[in-house]
Structure 1
Amino acid sequence: MKITIDIDCTPDEARTFLGLPDVKPMQEAMMREIQQRMTASLNAMDPESIMNTWLPAGIQGMEQLQKMFWSQLAGAMGQDGKK
């Protein structure tokens, strides 16, 4: 024997009938919180902030790195010339 029952109702009606809580206000609050956090994260991702994070010394640090590189290169070329 096979019995089929078709129930035509909205999700809200089904939730009420089954005694489940309405989580829509909580979902809306969570989505607002997520949106605020994402907006704050995007504001922190401007190019100047990223460069300050990656290169704390800024341009001076890059200049020092470049000077060190060139001094090492000049030292290596000077040693090769002496040999």
Structure 2
Amino acid sequence: MKINVTFDLTPEELRRAMGLPDVQEFQQELFASMLEKMKSGEEGYDAMSLYQPMFNEGMNAMGQFQKMMLSMMSGASSSSSDKNNS
């Protein structure tokens, strides 16, 4: 038996239903501050330095995913060759 349940919610309604905090105002203030610094060309301010940690984490996650897939594929090929040898 299959039961499908569909919820038609906006992101705001889902956030409230899950009990998550509303951080929209904080995000807007942070973005405005970053934009102001970028526009003024503040000394020593490098926009790429903000994103560097995200790039590094993204690359690490991709490397871990590739290792997982490789180990799964090598495990599958070794188990199939074991079955063929039996």
TM-score interval, normalised by the smaller of the two chains: 0.3 to 0.5
Larger radius of gyration: 1
TM-score by length of 1: 0.47
Q: Which has the higher contact order (CA 8 A, sep 6+)?
A: 2
TM-score by length of 2: 0.45
